[in-house]
Amino acid sequence: MGTKKIAIVVGSLRKESFSRKIAATMMGMAPGKLDMEIVEIRDLPLYNEDDDTASPPPAFTAFRDRIRAADGILFVTPEYNRSIPGALKNAIDVGSRPYGKAAWTGKPCAIVSQSPGALGGFGANHHLRQTLPFLNMPAMPAPEAYLGGIAAKFDGETMVDESLRGFLQSFVDSFAAWVERHGA
Ligand SMILES: Cc1cc2nc3c(=O)[nH]c(=O)nc-3n(C[C@H](O)[C@H](O)[C@H](O)COP(=O)(O)O)c2cc1C
């Protein structure tokens, strides 16, 4: 029951991203159980199978190594056009190859989606869920996290909504148990 290393993949590249602020809020919530760190996706070239030779782009290798080193993955993402942002899909594709050697394989994961709108990124959350069985990633089914009206929950970097903070704490506690149960 040592500390589990969690790679957080944030689906937005925006500097003031709410997804990133949510991730930062969640990072300290399971001291001693989860050591959570954002693995950046902004420098990944668009996936092109032609580049994925014996010496792939260094950014691909670095990203795959960081994902492989993790015991679990936390996705925190906005919704773009009722789906996931292209940058996040690209990162998933990069981590999924070479064929048969996906970095994601077997990693327990959980998803938090958010939106300034009311639906909390439900469409993105479920589009992301669709990819996970193919990557053989056990995805935590509950609690589900569709965080709506997100703009009102922050004052700068600080999450000021205590009820949301409490929900995220219970989400992280469940995720810690999920990783413990389904991890390698
Ligand atoms: C290209 C694009 C498409 C979007 N589509 C949706 C959408 O389908 N549903 C939604 O709730 N919000 C949508 N939004 C608004 C995002 O939810 C909002 O910009 C959010 O704050 C982005 O997350 P971030 O703060 O982590 O960057 C869209 C934004 C962009 C830029």
How close is the Cα of 117 to the center of ligand 1, in Å? 9
Ligand 1 shell residues, CB under 6 Å: 12, 14, 17-19, 78-82, 115-117, 119, 121
What does pLDDT average to over the chain? 97
pLDDT of 183 above 90: no
- Phi, psi (deg, nearest 5) at residue 181: -75, -35
Of 22-26, 31-35, 93-97, 152-156, the range with the lowest mean pLDDT is 31-35
- Which mutation among 25, 26, 80 tests ligand 1's pocket best, with the greatest number of atoms within 8 A of CB? 80
How many helices (H) and strands (E) would you count in the chain?
5, 7
- Range 38-49 average pLDDT: 98
143 upstream amide cis, omega within 30 of 0: yes
How close is the Cα of 32 to the center of ligand 1, in Å? 34
pLDDT value at position 86? 98
Q: What is the per-residue DSSP string for 84-117?
A: --HHHHHHHHHHT-STT--TTTT--EEEEEE-SS
- Range 108-124 average pLDDT: 98
Residue-wise pLDDT tens digits, 3-14: 999 999 999 999
- Closest atom, ligand 1, to C-alpha of 18: 25
- Closest atom, ligand 1, to C-alpha of 115: 17
Q: Which residues contact 36 (CB under 8 A, 6 or more apart)?
A: 6, 8, 23, 26, 27, 30, 74
Task: Say how many CA atoms lie within 13 Å of 78 toward its Cβ.
Answer: 20
Residue-wise pLDDT tens digits, 172-182: 999 999 999 99
- Closest atom, ligand 1, to C-alpha of 22: 26
- Range 91-105 average pLDDT: 97
- Which mutation among 14, 81, 126, 150 tests ligand 1's pocket best, with the greatest number of atoms within 8 A of CB? 81
- Range 111-140 average pLDDT: 98
